[in-house]
Structure 1
Amino acid sequence: MRFSTISLSALMLASATPAFAQEETAPPPPITINGSATIVTDYRFRGISQTDKNIAVQGGITISHESGFYVSAWGSSVSNYVTAAVTGTQELDLIAGFKKTWNGTTFDIGALYYVYPKTKLAGDNSSSDFIEPYVSVAHTFGPVTAKATANYAPKQKALALDQIGPKEDNLYLAGDLSAAIPGTPIGLTGHLGHTFGPSWLSIGKEYTDWGLGATVTYKALTFGVQYVDTDGDFITYTGKNASKAGVVGSVGVSF
């Protein structure tokens, strides 16, 4: 899943006439709506390809209240390569949370529900949808932002090995760094995460994923490139290693 970033304009100090002050310091609306649409060369979720290393189309919308509460929906094309006959084509993430910033530190807590509409064969009792609460803390140091995240999915049928065994839970811990190069439209990112198992999300045990990336922004467009890798192995029914290192390109628009 991916969040849309909600930006609030800083209030300017009042000066000159009251009319000028009113124009420049008008408060932001209590409810903000943001959206995005993106094309990626490979949809990687915690380092593992969700599209069998093929292109994905993604989009999302976030409704945020000035109190800090928000709801969001995000979707992507996927290829849930269970078998050649049963292949999911969509992922829908439904999110609700609370985010607030104090003195440069942003706290974010909420829950994410993953939905994978798919066609099942007769007698298929597997489950694919699951819920995952999360919490993150981020702090900005000048042009650099550091973020720590914990996602914990309690025991659910969808997290069972091969999605047919006993219920399993899953813990994901991650650290991210992002930096904007002053005076340029270029941004840099670094990521390190670890998935604890055993569960379907952890490829049956546990593994580490990492990545380095760069973005260039032009007006509402963002172009990105990222190197992604893991220390795990996940072989799809097509014979590809979905967790092998790769370069992911993207182009997106925000509104």
Structure 2
Amino acid sequence: MRIPFFRTSIPACACLLALAAPATAGTFGGNATLTTDYVWRGTTQTQGDPAIQAGFKATSGNGLYGSAWGSGVEFAPGTHASSEFDVVVGWAGNLADDWALDVNLTHYRYPGTTVDLNWTEFNGTATWKQNYWAQIGWSNDALASGHHGTYAQLGARLPLDAQWRLEGAVGHYWLDDAYGDSYAHAQLGAVWAFKAPFELRVTAHATDDSARRLFADLAGSRVEAALQASF
């Protein structure tokens, strides 16, 4: 389960592209990633195994955008979950010289499962000087539980030179209504943009004891490395 793109049906994607088409300043891009572990909000979504991920994004000149993103996943065997597709519809733009806002609706979808794992979340992210951000996410069906959940994150990136930067974030997930508990996590990573359009990222993740109680071996401390290409 992930934040970062959306999943949707072909008709929904067509609607998004139709919105973006009239704007001459619209853009289209995407990315592909090979990662040693798919970690989302501090917990592994692949039981610590590698994953291949890819996504695309269409943006109109007025800030409206739509994106689709997919990844392999590995949940409990009884769910038969092997893939995740995220579909996002949103708006992003500048509020002032140093401030930007992104608001979106993200739908997480897991096709072919024996239980309904699909759910939707509203997200908002404020960014300052392109390097510091505060995010809030809310759903009345958090993690497909049928109950409310709220997620918050503070993050920062520190460019070191033209090729290197550090990135860190701390997050808290309030799941008391769904699971009777909440948890916190943190991450710190280094990114090497060694040759456009490629980047190599190494990130260390850690969670608190509450995450271990909620998700057992899926939480805790782990390190993941990822090679990403953007276009």
- Report the alpha carbon displacement of residue 186 of structure 1 after superposing the two structures with TM: 0.3
2:165 matched to which residue of 1? Answer: 187
Q: What residue number does 2:124 align with?
A: 135
Q: Which residue is equivalent to 2:56?
A: 61
| Structure 2 unaligned regions, length at least 5 | 7-22
- Residue 175 of structure 1 aligns to a residue whose secondary structure is strand
The residue number in structure 2 matching 1:80 is: 75
- Greater C-alpha radius of gyration: 1
Matched, 1:111 2:105: yes
Where relative contact order (Cα < 8 A, 6+ residues apart) is larger, the structure is 2
Q: Describe the shift of the 1:225–1:197 C-alpha distance in structure 2 as closer, same or farther (beyond 3 A).
A: same
* 2:37 match: secondary structure: coil
Q: CA deviation at 1:173?
A: 0.5
* Residue equivalent to 1:241: 217
**TM-score calculated relative to the size of structure 2:** 0.84
Query: Could you tell me how far 1:234 is from its partner in structure 2?
Result: 5.6
Q: Matched residue pairs, number?
A: 209
- 2: CA distance between counterparts of 1:177 and 1:100? 19
Tell me the alpha carbon deviations over residues 186-242 of structure 1, each in whole angstroms, 9 at most, x when there is no partner. 011011000001366xx6511001000010012100000000010121687xxx711
**Could you give the per-residue CA deviations for residues 106-128 of structure 1, whole angstroms, max 9, x where no partner exists?**
111110001011332xxxxx421
Q: Residue 17 of structure 2 corresponds to which residue in structure 1?
A: none
1:177 aligns with 2:156: yes
* Aligned equivalents of 1:58, 1:199: Cα separation in 2: 31
SS at match of 1:80: coil
Q: For residues 171 and 2 of structure 1, do their structure 2 counterparts lie closer, same or farther at Cα, with a shift above 3 Å needed?
A: same
2:228 paired residue number: 252
Kept in 1: contact 2:70–2:83 (CA 8 A)? yes
- In the alignment, the residues of structure 1 paired with residue 142 and residue 164 of structure 2 have an alpha-carbon distance, to the nearest angstrom, of 42
1:71 corresponds to which residue? 66
Any gaps of 5 or more consecutive residues in structure 1? Answer: 5-27, 121-125, 161-166
SS at match of 1:233: helix
Is the CA contact (8 Å cut-off) linking 2:142 and 2:149 kept in structure 1? Answer: no
Higher helix share: 2
- CA change 1:235–1:150 in 2 (3 A) is closer
Map Cα deviations across residues 20-40 of structure 1 (whole Å, 9 max, x no partner). xxxxxxxx9511001000011
Q: CA deviation at 1:86?
A: 3.2
3-state SS, counterpart of residue 181 of structure 2: coil
Deviation at 1:244, TM superposition (A): 1.4
Change (3 A) 1:79 1:199: farther
CA distance in 1, matches of 2:144, 2:86: 16
Are 2:5 and 2:106, in contact at CA under 8 Å, matched by a contact in 1? no
Percent identical among aligned pairs is 23
Give the corresponding residue for 2:4: 2
Question: Residue type matched to 1:2 in 2?
Answer: P
CA distance in structure 1 between the partners assigned to 2:78 and 2:125 by the alignment: 38
Supply the distance in 1 between the matched residues of 2:49 and 2:26 (Cα, whole angstroms): 36
Cα pair 1:178 1:188 within 8 Å, conserved: yes
Give the 3 Å change call, closer, same or farther, for CA 209–187 of structure 1 in structure 2. same
2:93 to 89, 93, 100: 100
User: Are the counterparts in 1 of residues 5 and 86 from structure 2 also a CA contact under 8 Å?
Assistant: no
1:235/1:242 contact within 8 Å kept: no
| TM-fit CA distance, 1:92 | 0.5
- Call closer, same or farther: CA 1:135–1:158 in 2, change over 3 Å: closer
Give per-residue Cα distances to partners, 1:33-53, cap 9 Å, x unaligned.
010000111101100000000
